[in-house]
Amino acid sequence: MELDKIKNPDAENALLQLCILNKDGDNSTYAEIGSYLTAKDFYSAANQAVYEAVAGVFADGGTLAIPSVMEYIDKHGLADKIGSPFYLTKLCEGMAYPSQLKLYARQIKECSHRRQMIILAHDIESEMQDKTIEVSESLSRYVDSIEDLRTVEQDHSDNSLEEAFNSFISIEDKGISWGIPGIDRVMKKMQEGHYIVLAGRPAMGKTALALNFVRNVCRQGYKVLYFSLEMTKRDLYKRLIACESGITEVEAKTNALNAMAKGETDESRKKYQRLEAGKNRVNGWQLDIVDDVYSLGNIRARTRLINTKKGVDFVVIDHMQLMTIDGFRESRTNEMASISRGIQQLAKDINAPILALSQVNRANENRNDKRPALSDLKESGAIEQDADAIMVIYRDRYYDPESVNDWTEVIVRKHRHGGGGTAKLSYDMARNQFDDYQGIAGQTVKKNTVDGVFT
């Protein structure tokens, strides 16, 4: 591998000179690029040692200058790497332009990435010769390695403080609405990079509620990615069409659909038109449903690929306990902890909210109050720790069919960024439609319908 051809010694020398001869004495030059470059980004072993020394002096609170950097080099055994004791003096005699600091940094980083990509390509070629190695395991690992190398060519200044301040004084209610006022009230709007969990026992309606969120977010014009590890893409689309058109799946079975299409009566013709209109609206959404991946690595790879191609505003994973990590050899509890951390990191990487559905264990069924608690989250306490927000879903009639409480409760058990409380929702099971509860005990009132079509 001819890596020695991929280097920019002029940029390396100029950048190091600007860091060492910091004219203001406040180390501001290194502070500007220190979080962007590492010693390994430099090709020259001598320059790696010098940059390591510059970073060390800065970390120790010293003032960057030739004497302080040289002292650090001698003290930490780096002298052999730079060779001549006059290396720093010679380095600082060249021409360097302070206005080009970020250009020098980008040039160094680009050469570093090119070298690392060549090394990765060589490693992949060598590994693929070994037929005992799982391709999916290698693919996941190398996709992550390549993603770690990605660098956006932009101003690397950190505006987090300014953005945080502006968020206090902005009159705009930022974020993505859940599309159900009661949920927006207790959860606030979804924010970029947040990892949110929706948990509940089987048959509580987790998937149905998640699909309502998907529908509502799509209707706002956002790009949604839905990972289904349990249901097929076809079945999910059937649910969405039923929800969007107001025609139940039972009504739309093949024979009934044929009758509707023939338009034998005004009613059947109208139903078919509503069903077709619902299908066309779903078709117009920016929605990707993926039902053929299960591992954390593949989910991360697919998300990043789609995000790179066309962007992603909201991701749903249904559900976490069906996920795996290729080649993981430790306990299931540790595997789930790694999965939870992986989802948390993915939300930050793509800067979009991720809603992960989670099961809860049976512990709640041994209590008088069967509403799930955080301690009931299945297989790992890491979910409780990692998530920005956790909401649980509960239906009284699941345990007592005669209960007068005919609503569904969505309870916020954790929220790092505000919010909290319980939202009461009505649920039309036939059409998979959730809405704010508008009734009294034993009497649910459906709202927001026009000619039978839910809006």
Structure tokens belonging to residue 287: 């929605």
Residue 449 has pLDDT above 80, yes or no: no
Q: Distance of CA 102 to CAs 8, 326, 336, Å?
A: 14, 39, 41
Asked whether residue 241 is assigned to any structural domain, the reply reads no
14-33 burial: b if 16+ Cβ within 10 Å, else e:
bbbbbbbebeeeebebbebb
Percentage of the chain with pLDDT > 90? 30
Q: Distance of CA 119 to CAs 114, 126, 217, 284, Å?
A: 9, 11, 42, 43
Q: Distance (Å, rounded) from C-alpha 287 to C-alpha 241?
A: 13
Residue 452 has pLDDT above 60, yes or no: no
Residue 171 has pLDDT above 50, yes or no: no
Q: Return the sign of the alpha-carbon dihedral for residues 71, 75, 76, 81.
A: positive
* 75, 99, 133 - which closes a domain: 133
Number of domains making up the chain: 2
Asked whether residue 405 is assigned to any structural domain, the reply reads yes
Asked whether residue 139 is assigned to any structural domain, the reply reads no
CA-based end-to-end distance of the chain? 61
pTM for the whole thing? 0.66
Residue 60 has pLDDT above 90, yes or no: no
Rg of the chain (C-alpha set): 28
Q: Which residues contact 352 (CB under 8 A, 6 or more apart)?
A: 192, 193, 307, 312, 313, 314, 315
Give the tens place of pLDDT for each residue, 379-407: 667 888 889 999 999 888 878 777 878 88
Q: Distance (Å, rounded) from C-alpha 438 to C-alpha 441?
A: 10
Asked whether residue 28 is assigned to any structural domain, the reply reads yes
Asked whether residue 15 is assigned to any structural domain, the reply reads yes
Asked whether residue 153 is assigned to any structural domain, the reply reads no
Q: Return the sign of the alpha-carbon dihedral for residues 169, 171, 177, 182.
A: positive
Q: Distance (Å, rounded) from C-alpha 19 to C-alpha 91?
A: 11
Residues 394 and 313 in one domain: yes
Structure tokens belonging to residue 289: 């449903």
Residues 296 and 383 in one domain: yes
Residues 59 and 188 in one domain: no
Q: Distance (Å, rounded) from C-alpha 23 to C-alpha 101?
A: 14
Residues 214 and 351 in one domain: yes
Q: Distance of CA 262 to CAs 241, 252, 267, 418, Å?
A: 20, 13, 11, 53
Instruction: Identify the CATH number of the domain in which residue 50 sits.
Output: 1.10.860.10
Residues 36 and 97 in one domain: yes
Residue 254 has pLDDT above 90, yes or no: no
- Using an 8 Å Cβ cutoff, are 269 and 263 in contact? yes
Give the tens place of pLDDT for each residue, 109-123: 999 988 988 888 888
Q: Would you give the DSSP letter of residue 78?
A: -
Asked whether residue 338 is assigned to any structural domain, the reply reads yes
Residues 197 and 84 in one domain: no
Residues 109 and 226 in one domain: no
Residue 264 has pLDDT above 50, yes or no: yes
Range with the lowest mean pLDDT among 117-131, 137-151, 239-253, 312-326?
137-151
* 133, 163, 189 - which closes a domain: 133
- Using an 8 Å Cβ cutoff, are 326 and 295 in contact? yes
141 pLDDT tier (thresholds 50, 70, 90) = low
Instruction: Identify the CATH number of the domain in which residue 210 sits.
Output: 3.40.50.300
Average pLDDT for 57-86: 88
Q: Would you give the DSSP letter of residue 176?
A: B
Give the tens place of pLDDT for each residue, 203-243: 888 999 999 999 999 999 999 999 999 889 998 998 888 88
Q: What is the domain extent for residue 19?
A: 3-133
Structure tokens belonging to residue 88: 């720093």
pLDDT at 260: 62
Q: Name which of 345, 352, 285, 349 is nearest 314 in CA terms.
A: 352
Residues 81 and 214 in one domain: no
> For 442, phi and psi rounded to 5 degrees?
85, 0
Residue 362 has pLDDT above 60, yes or no: yes
Average pLDDT for 353-361: 92
Residues 442 and 305 in one domain: yes
Residue 56 has pLDDT above 70, yes or no: yes
Give the CA dihedral 392, 398, 400, 402, nearest 10 degrees: 120
pLDDT at 304: 86
Q: Distance (Å, rounded) from C-alpha 173 to C-alpha 326?
A: 41
Kindly report the average pLDDT of the chain as a whole number: 82
